[in-house]
Amino acid sequence: MPTAFITGITGQDGAYLSRLLLGKGYRVVGLLRRSASSDVVGERLRWLGVLDQVELVDGNLTDLSSLIRILQACRPDEVYNLAAQSFVMSSWQQPLLTGTVTGLGCANLLEAVRIAAPETRFYQASSSEMFGKIQEERQSERTPFYPRSPYGAAKLYAHWMTVNYRESFGLHASSGILFNHESPLRGIEFVTRKITDGVARIKLGLARELSLGNMNARRDWGHAADFVDAMWRMLQQDKADDYVVGTGRTVTILDFCRLAFGYAGLNYEDHVVTRQDLMRPAEVEVLQADATKARERLGWQATVTLEQLAAEMVEADLARHRRRARD
């Protein structure tokens, strides 16, 4: 039975990856950062029905000693670093925290792997936000980076440290440059989930309007369950490498609003208002993936359409609010 160690296991990607790996016969060990809300941190794993099948261990990406001890104890075959301060807007308010956790946290984990488990295969969750002010119409592994937020800059540091440890120490360390990936497990602060939750509230008479920022930003959105499959495929390769993962289709936030509101039989124009205070200080206007390499080398491609994704998220939020109303 292979063992996988996942940081960020209680997040969206960690939960879907746990389900995927358990289905493949893995033992799954996850890093649990102690917090005041520790009683609810397993909700995403519980929602997918896998909470009781994973092992959660105390530790923190900012504490190298805890990472070394965990790796020595669980002896993983694969390590997936999914943990981060991942909300872009918050990175301007908390740039040092974002740099410490999202950037240096990855370096800590790489160093722990080098010391305690050098044969382990390592995955780093890189981000399309590293492209930022895009230099090419479609972004591939060869596109120059130009991050436009503290989050993007921290992810870029982590990305290049992963490359450096691969080339300097021979680690089997790969990065997935993942474009936006969503699901019913997405955090409520992210725009797609904010939209689908708003749709559900308005449909059920719990709210009348939804406040958003820049409606014209264009994103390449896929389903998180598809994207974690790409992560696993990267670590099955004989040679470590970096891969762009995305659908290749880009739409505006306005387009996503149309889909989500339309699915519920509503007109977004009757309910959506824009607010200047929700605009980013520096916007990433367009992101569109060229995932040719992932398709050709990993045999990966997205299976869930944007329309299916929006419908699934709206349905899940409707069910959540109806359940809360009953309770």
3-class secondary structure for 263-314?
HCCCCHHHCEEECHHHCCCCCCCECCECCHHHHHHHCCCCCCCHHHHHHHHH
Looking at the structure of the chain, the number of domains it has is: 2
Find the catalytic residue in 129, 149, 175, 243: 129
Find the catalytic residue in 127, 128, 175, 183: 127
Find the catalytic residue in 151, 165, 243, 268: 151
Specify whether 139 is located in the same domain as 197. no
Specify whether 256 is located in the same domain as 142. no
Specify whether 88 is located in the same domain as 110. yes
Say if 78 falls within a structural domain.
Answer: yes
Asked about 127 being catalytic, the answer comes back as yes
Task: List residues bridging with 28 in a β-sheet.
Answer: 4
Say if 297 falls within a structural domain.
Answer: no
Give 164's pLDDT tier (boundaries 50, 70, 90). very high
Specify whether 152 is located in the same domain as 214. no
Specify whether 100 is located in the same domain as 142. yes
Confidence (pLDDT) at 284: 77
Asked about 268 being catalytic, the answer comes back as no
Say if 33 falls within a structural domain.
Answer: yes
Confidence (pLDDT) at 36: 47
Confidence (pLDDT) at 40: 65
Confidence (pLDDT) at 280: 75
- The closest alpha carbon to 293, from 250, 230, 251, 236, belongs to 230
Specify whether 102 is located in the same domain as 229. yes
Specify whether 155 is located in the same domain as 236. yes
Specify whether 80 is located in the same domain as 200. no
Specify whether 240 is located in the same domain as 308. no
Answer whether 0.85 is exceeded by the pTM.
yes
Specify whether 211 is located in the same domain as 147. no
Say if 293 falls within a structural domain.
Answer: no
Query: Cβ atoms within 10 A of the Cβ of 307, count?
Result: 11
What is the CATH classification number for the domain harbouring 207? 3.90.25.10
Query: H-helix or E-strand containing 150?
Result: helix 150-169
Specify whether 55 is located in the same domain as 74. yes
What is the CATH classification number for the domain harbouring 72? 3.40.50.720
Say if 207 falls within a structural domain.
Answer: yes
Average pLDDT over residues 189-201: 95
Say if 299 falls within a structural domain.
Answer: no
Say if 292 falls within a structural domain.
Answer: no
Confidence (pLDDT) at 275: 87
Domain that holds residue 144: 3-182+223-245
pLDDT in tens, 56-113: 999 999 999 999 999 999 999 999 999 988 778 888 889 999 999 999 999 999 999 9
Q: For 97-184, list the strands marked E by DSSP.
A: 121-127, 172-178, 181-182
Say if 200 falls within a structural domain.
Answer: yes
Asked about 151 being catalytic, the answer comes back as yes
Specify whether 85 is located in the same domain as 209. no
